[in-house]
Amino acid sequence: MLRLTDLTVSYGERTALAPLSLEVPSGQLVAVTGPSGSGKTSLLLAIAGRVPARGEIVLDDRALRPSDIALVPQGNHLARVLTASENIALPLAATGTADPVRIADAALHTVGLGESGNHLVEELSGGQQQRVAVARALARSAAVVLADDCTSDLDGANREKVLAALRAEARRGAHVLCATNDLDAAAECDAHLALDEGVVSRVR
């Protein structure tokens, strides 16, 4: 179980996320929706430890570790002068993972970019870049997968591919949170948390 207790994010005077408590079981894909500025990114970055937050984050009754987390950041954060494959394989190699290139290529294949591994990121379209960022997270086989707005630049077919990949992550036992503006996508998730001005307005 991934357990958030009174997780709170403030930037100076501004509260981006009011105290939020949530339990995400292993195997569950949770959609986080809400208008722009409602706190979706703040929630995911707080779980990832990328913004200062108060409250408690526990995975299976211990503190969550950076190595537990795979984040697809809003904006993708890819190195433009590296290839798609290198963007995925280099971080794996840096943490001592065996066969990083093979894992990178398999992840690219999952998001429909099996032929694009050797392309520089700057040669790829926005949608292709978004799928590379998703593949980089898939390649980590992490316990917690945090996908921030990771279908915004995709056409219908690729959106389905990415959602299927996130569902597969949940099926192998990951705890998956997916921030999105896409209510159809949210309806297909196991649970749905709607945020409004940093406050949970609806939970399914």
Does residue 41 bind ligand ADP (CB under 6 A)? yes
Picking from 15, 22, 5, 24, the residue whose alpha carbon sits closest to that of residue 52 is 15
Under rule CB under 6 A, residue 172 binds ligand ADP: no
33 in contact with Mg ion (CB under 5 A): no
Could you tell me which stretch among 8-16, 102-110, 127-135, 169-177 binds ligand ADP (CB under 6 A)?
A: 8-16
Q: Which residues contact 13 (CB under 8 A, 6 or more apart)?
A: none
The stretch near ligand ADP (CB under 6 A) out of 34-42, 52-60, 86-94, 123-131 is 34-42
How long a stretch of residues is the chain? Answer: 204
**Contact string 42-71 vs ligand ADP (x = CB under 6 A):** x-----------------------------
Which amino acid is located at 128 in the chain? Q
Q: Which of 24, 34, 72, 163 binds ligand ADP (CB under 6 A)?
A: 34
Chain position carrying tokens 């290529």: 105
Cα dihedral across residues 58, 61, 62, 64: positive or negative: negative
Strand partners, 24: 2
Which residues make up the interface to Mg ion (CB under 5 A)?
Answer: 40-41, 74
